[in-house]
Structure 1
Amino acid sequence: MTWDEYATAWSALHGGFDPRRASFLVRGWLRLAFVLGRPLGRLGVPPTAVTVVGLLICACVPLVVLADRTAGPLAGAALVLLAGVADSVDGAVAVTSGRASRIGHLYDSVADRLGEAAWLAAFWAAGAFGWLVVVAGALSWLHEYVRARASVAGMREIGAVTVGERPSRVSVALVGLLFTGAGALITTELAAGTATLAMVVWVLLAGYGLCQLLAVVRRALA
């Protein structure tokens, strides 16, 4: 399978969004997933196995933060990056090996939500306010729930690529844990403040993204 063939198949599975017309970073990220996923597909690796590995990596993020409040957030950031790669690679394995399925899409979505919950737990472990972590998780969950219900109600496309999408959450988790780890090298209070700031950014992006999506859904279903 060539990149163009993969992009066409990927677009059909993602509401018609063409990755070849995406930004440089998004296009580059998906090409990386394609390059890593194609050989795994040839080897017969099931895409669900990659999904499970990514979820297990996510589960380790709060554990490393709890184990070491200084170096833990930095290790957690590295794990978030690995989990983000796995999250893209499982889809590439499914598409390039012809194993894409509705049940696999469901498993992937559930794994994404559980993985994000683990990242949020890591920020709570690093000192962020619990209520802020809960709000961040609720807004992100609501974002995905609205899109799913709108699709059931008849919205045929993804609606809108908002600022609160999955890549934004990965970026906030990665950068937030990096800065939290850097702050932990100075004082624990600075680490907690940085973790809280990362949650504020998450909430703002998730809230604004939800408003963007609701506006598009309203027009599509009116």
Structure 2
Amino acid sequence: MGNRLTWDEYATAWAGLHGGFDPRTAAPVVRGWLRMAYLVGALLGRLRVSPAAVTVVGLVLCAVVPVVAGRSSTGAFVGALLVLLASVADSVDGAVAVVTGRTSRLGYVYDSTADRVGEAFWLAAFWLVGVSGVVVVTAGALSWLHEYVRARAVSAGMKEIGAVTLGERPTRVSITVVGLVVAGAAGLIRTELAAGAATVVVAVWILLALFGLGQLLSAVRRTLA
């Protein structure tokens, strides 16, 4: 049955793994993104591609981002494309696991770890473009703290929740893609402008991470108090 799941069957199974958040009721953009992941995941499932293989591909794409982005303004554009492709892989690996019936707690841990390592590569790209190390580390630490608080809340009995804050991974993906594009465009105008443009974008990452962390802590307090 694994790779013959219909969209409705897949959505039901996906919701069960994400705290009951039904993708069929999500905003059009989110619903479209998840349906795309389902279609690609179903195809890869039929081709007998494992979820772990997709996760590894996504991580490798992330690892290449700082290599290309730090070389030139054009490289920053390529880096933005790689981040986008890695985010697709991040959605598809879970879809492959669902449609093939290969979801597991171990796979969830691997996937989450790959996400954090991938984000570290993205921030390394911004550092190579010229953003201060302190700013980069602050952005990474806040994002890590956001995920840590969520994980501890779930282990304390809070039902796992979907994307409810401004500090979630989709926000980080969007900021990284936009940031690398902006840095690349600024660098084409004048090389030294790339660092300043990237710094502004990472500052936005930090602000949204702070706001999102506050939202998450508020939700945790309401649920577990």
Distance 2:215 2:73 in 1: 37
CA offset at residue 159 of structure 1? 7.2
Distance 1:24 1:165 in 2: 18
Residue 40 of structure 1 is matched in structure 2 by 44
Q: 1:159 to 1:183 in 2, by over 3 A?
A: closer
> Does 2:62 align with 1:23?
no
Distance 1:130 1:19 in 2: 38
> Does 2:97 align with 1:85?
no
Q: Which residues of structure 1 form unaligned runs of 5+?
A: none
Q: Which residues of structure 2 form unaligned runs of 5+?
A: none
Letter in 2 for 1:4: D
Q: 1:160 to 1:114 in 2, by over 3 A?
A: closer
CA offset at residue 189 of structure 1? 1.9
> Does 2:151 align with 1:164?
no
CA offset at residue 220 of structure 1? 0.9
Distance 1:192 1:91 in 2: 35
Distance 1:211 1:159 in 2: 16
**Of the candidates 124, 131, 136, which is equivalent to residue 134 of structure 2?**
131
**Equivalent pair of 2:166/2:208 in contact (CA under 8 Å):** yes
CA offset at residue 103 of structure 1? 0.5
Deviations 1:41-65 (A, max 9, x none): 1121110000000000000000112
**Equivalent pair of 1:127/1:191 in contact (CA under 8 Å):** yes
Letter in 2 for 1:204: L
Identity %: 67
Distance 1:145 1:55 in 2: 20
Residue 16 of structure 2 is matched in structure 1 by 12
CA offset at residue 128 of structure 1? 1.0
Backbone CA RMSD of aligned residues = 1.0
Q: Comparing 81-90 with 186-195, which one deviates more in the overlay? A: 186-195
* Greater than 2 Å deviation, 4+ residue runs: none
SS in 1 for 2:189: coil
Give the alignment's TM-score, normalised by structure 1.
0.97
CA offset at residue 69 of structure 1? 2.1
SS in 1 for 2:134: helix
Count of equivalent residues: 221
> Does 2:78 align with 1:75?
yes
Give the alignment's TM-score, normalised by structure 2.
0.96
**Of the candidates 41, 55, 59, which is equivalent to residue 55 of structure 1?**
59
Letter in 2 for 1:190: L
SS in 2 for 1:185: helix
Residue 118 of structure 1 is matched in structure 2 by 121
Residue 210 of structure 1 is matched in structure 2 by 213
Deviations 1:84-110 (A, max 9, x none): 100000001000011011100110000
Letter in 1 for 2:74: A
